[in-house]
Amino acid sequence: MPTLADRIKTLFDTIGTGKMPVPETLVIPPKHCEPATSAGYEIRQNRDYFQFKIDELFLASGREWWATYDPMVVVLINFLYGDKMIAVPAVVGTQLFGQPRDMVPHGAVLHDTHITGPHPFRGGRISVSIILYKVKRNDYARNLMKFMENVSGLLAVGASVEMAAKLGNIVVDGLESILDLGDTTPIVGHRFEIDTSSVRGFVANYYSLINSAGSDVSKLRVVDGRLHLQSDDGGFEKFMSSDYVLYSFSGMESRNDVSSLPFHKLRDQALEAAMMGDQENYQRAKALLLTLFQQMVLSPDLCRHQVQSLFEQFKTELMIKHKEATDVLTMSSKKETAKPVSKFIEVNRALNELSL
């Protein structure tokens, strides 16, 4: 049975044999990106996380597109996850525009669509294939595209290797079905590999895929994640003369979505046990914390430096919750032995009996 990677290769080999316009594809030099810190920095192996997103999808003839066709961007990324190479497919289509088709203006724009990550960068080659399609509008194609977008969203927020393979096969099934309709046309495509073992390493960058001939790409600039042209006087104006896709790899030292990872429920269970206040449950809380630490160390979703900082954070939370619970129990115990409170309880009970 072919693997997901095999199916993806076959799918793109099939696409490559068809007629597709030759696009302008380029890496935007970091010196042409603003702010200066948005590109050009190294994403360090086993130290940093990376993510991939579509910063912009721009359709220069928006109304012409939407009169008959729906846009669809297909992205396929291969990278080292833990100790295995995995393939993550994604589909971006009409539902992410967030407005009815008849409301989409000339020059339809889609911004900041997360495709995958953050993932720890483990080294190895990273390959990306991205194609912009126009899909002839019909109910079947639209519903299938919506379904694939939803599945892609599950992959984007993180999934196990096994789940990623299953969901990825579902996306490829959908792509094959749409391509079989015969009314799906590739507009522009780009396939590239990043050799992260090179001297340059893995660097955060912006890439553009432009359906245009004769554009002066030397004047293209990225300003705050949007594609612009620099004029002769040094000013910037939005690039709007052609359909294009702007996409990027970026890096970060830590991830802030830890609560979505599978092991995080152990943290909640440990805190719940610590909040019981007694020593027996506190011992159970510490045992859960130790199990949590072991799972974080083995997790392919975390860099080691963040494992240590998270463990210190969770340990501190556990101690604080246990102390708070102990203080509350101590206060409750004192209140139970206080005579004024006890007398009021007896008076209230007597009044209740008299009212029967």
pLDDT, tens only, 185-197:
777 777 888 888 8
- Proportion of the chain above pLDDT 70, given as a percent: 74
Tokens of 193: 């590999």
300 pLDDT more than 50: yes
Of residues 347 and 226, which shows the higher confidence score?
Answer: 226
46 pLDDT more than 90: yes
The whole-number average pLDDT for the span 124-144 is: 81
pLDDT for the residue numbered 227: 92
Distance (Å, whole) CA 269 – CA 279? 16
Of residues 314 and 213, which shows the higher confidence score?
Answer: 314
pLDDT-based confidence at residue 58 (cuts at 50, 70, 90): confident
Of the candidates 57, 28, 38, 54, the one whose C-alpha atom is nearest the C-alpha of residue 230 is: 28
Pairing of strands 243-252, 49-59: antiparallel
DSSP code for 123: -
pLDDT for the residue numbered 16: 54
The 10 Å CB-count burial string (b at 16+, else e) for 215-240 is beeeebbbeebbbbbbeeeeeeeebe
pLDDT, tens only, 20-42:
555 556 789 999 999 989 999 99
pLDDT for the residue numbered 94: 66
Q: At what angle do helices 139-156 and 161-180 cross, to 10 degrees?
A: 160
pLDDT, tens only, 81-122:
888 888 888 888 766 554 444 445 556 677 888 888 889 999
Helices of type H across the chain: 4-16, 62-68, 139-156, 161-180, 264-274, 279-298, 304-337, 339-354
242 pLDDT more than 70: yes
- Cis amide leading into 35 (omega within 30): yes
Of residues 350 and 219, which shows the higher confidence score?
Answer: 219
Distance (Å, whole) CA 351 – CA 355? 6
Which of 217-221, 250-254, 337-341 shows the highest mean pLDDT?
250-254
129 pLDDT more than 90: no
293 pLDDT more than 80: yes
Tokens of 82: 């833990």
- Cis amide leading into 118 (omega within 30): yes
Average per-residue pLDDT for the chain: 79
pLDDT for the residue numbered 85: 84
pLDDT for the residue numbered 354: 47
DSSP code for 300: T
Q: How far lies 247's CA from each of 146, 241, 299, 333, in Å? A: 21, 18, 28, 61
pLDDT for the residue numbered 142: 72
Taking the CB of residue 170, how many other CB atoms lie within 10 A of it? 16
Reduced to 3 states, what is the DSSP secondary structure of residue 292?
Answer: helix
Q: Edge to edge, what strands does the sheet with 184-195 contain?
A: 84-92, 69-81, 125-136, 184-195
211 neighbors 189 (Cβ within 8 angstroms): no
pLDDT-based confidence at residue 318 (cuts at 50, 70, 90): very high
